[in-house]
Structure 1
């Protein structure tokens, strides 16, 4: 005998209500599963995988080496940046000390020659002044003698100033510019060292090595996870409760987790209570069927108990 569609719908509603009533008679427990929030450990730069220091299933501690990518280019860049720092520092030191002693000595020798020439030209001018008074030389010859004496005296003053300048450090603006060059070179060196350090990656948190997608010798694209880890604090349990129960649960509330193979129940605390229904069956909503609405709850065990649970493992949750 074939039942009409309306009859089938009524039978389905009756069956659903009957199951809901039976479930209310049982002890408060809900089904759920374990989920892991994995940490993908990667390098921001591409490179060949030279060394893999861990394997699947291994527990690691913070600071433990995980993997090393080839870093020839980064090492060369760091060396270049270090040399640029040394060059900039040497240039600043040179500016601060003025000219070399040998260069100053050359200027001093030129000054001595100029002083001797100035003495001779001054004496010649004195003689020409006397000769002009008695009519022994012309006005033109006297003017030339005076001009020569003044030029030689000016040359002495010029060389004296050159020696004073040679002993001075560079100008303030020049020193400031060279100091900025040193700062820029040091920043480039720090960047090169940072890039090199990202080719050898270590664990920052303790956890279980869940997967290693690459093997030594393979090319690893930038940002691709070489190691997938599961820290104890990233293990959580997800389960669903009916609408009639969700109001009695809150963050921080203790629950108990039971699972096949667990030697003892595992305690946990609720960390998330959904504000929206996760699942609504295709039935007509009414006060009698509102327990069909279920809400997602998340809870986390302590870090000591997290290792007893495995992602994907089905569990039973009861109120503590």
Structure 2
């Protein structure tokens, strides 16, 4: 009987001591969270490729798939053909004024020759005036033709502007048809699969940066005066049944207003009705998960 009762008594005292010790072991408690980003489709169509799985680590800028864009590609080719056809109607100003340029060249030679003859009294002033007039007429014809051809050319260029804008819009849609990850992190949830139809704004996957994780904990008003942003604290999480893993953490945010104690959170002073939320940044070794329970030693 003594052999039975003695270990039982020791065990009872040990249990009471452990419970009492655990109650004083932490000053605040809460759960781990991370900034979660839901990546949605930016184009409509069938998902043709999607290289990601839940738990996969992705880098920002990494291409992971694409949405069917063949119709966009064909539409772009059609617009490019329209632009080419429109610009092919542009007049060749140099070629169409070449004949008048040659006439001007000959008229200038005649003008110069007549002026030389007039000096030697071999030509009359009227002949020189006629030569001058011919030069002026041809120059005006060239100017008028260049202006007319320039207007036609500018008009055709203007006709291609709306087509060019449509091409830019399609280029943007083609870029958005490629699924490019924009955030370093781990895939938490996958919402779509290959060959599924999607639409603009429809979620494809959820990702979060887990290299550093945040513990949202709650403290009482009495504890508020003993903490500050940038303060280092210890964060405890369950390791085994009777032990904790300890992580160094830094307080990065303290709420400036009180709130009622969350039902799932226990504080050091169980009689407190109002608590203050704090966020503690912790470097994650891969063990910490979103939603895990953690305790804080200030």
Q: TM-score range by the shorter chain?
A: 0.5 to 0.7
What is the TM-score with the length of structure 2 in the denominator?
Answer: 0.65
2:281 paired residue among 286, 295, 300: 300
Greater per-residue helix proportion = 1
2:53 to 51, 55, 71: 55
Match of 1:278 among 244, 254, 259: 259
Asked if 1:230 is matched to 2:178, the reply is: no
Conserved 8 A contact 2:38-2:207 = yes
Q: Residue 251 of structure 1 corresponds to which residue in structure 2?
A: 229
Moved more, 239-248 or 169-178: 169-178
Q: Secondary structure at the match of 1:168?
A: helix
Answer yes or no: is 1:186 the counterpart of 2:164. yes
Deviation of the 1:257 alpha carbon: 1.8
Q: Deviations over 1:73-127 (max 9, x none)?
A: 2212322333344345545xx24x32855x9769x9xxxxxxxxxxxxxxxxxxx
Residue pairs, 1:68-79, within 5 angstroms: 68-79=66-77
Per-residue deviation, 1:312 = 0.7
Give the Cα separation in 2 of the matches to 1:280 and 1:200. 45
2:199 to 206, 221, 224: 221
Counterpart residue number, 1:318: 297
TM-score (norm 1): 0.61
SS at match of 1:275: coil
What is the root-mean-square deviation of aligned Cα atoms in Å? 3.9
User: Which runs of 5 or more structure 2 residues have no equivalent in the other structure?
Assistant: 1-19, 103-133, 263-268
Aligned pair count reads 239
State the match for 2:288 in structure 1. 309
Q: Give 1:45's aligned residue.
A: 43
Task: Give the whole-Å Cα distance in 1 for the aligned partners of 2:292 and 2:162.
Answer: 55
Q: CA deviation at 1:181?
A: 4.4
Please name the residue that 2:24 is paired with: 26
Q: 1:172 to 1:228 in 2, by over 3 A?
A: same
How many angstroms apart in 1 are the aligned matches of 2:93 and 2:206?
59
The DSSP-based 3-state class of the residue aligned with 2:168 is helix
Q: Secondary structure at the match of 2:31?
A: strand
> Residues of 1 paired with 2:148 and 2:56: CA distance?
61
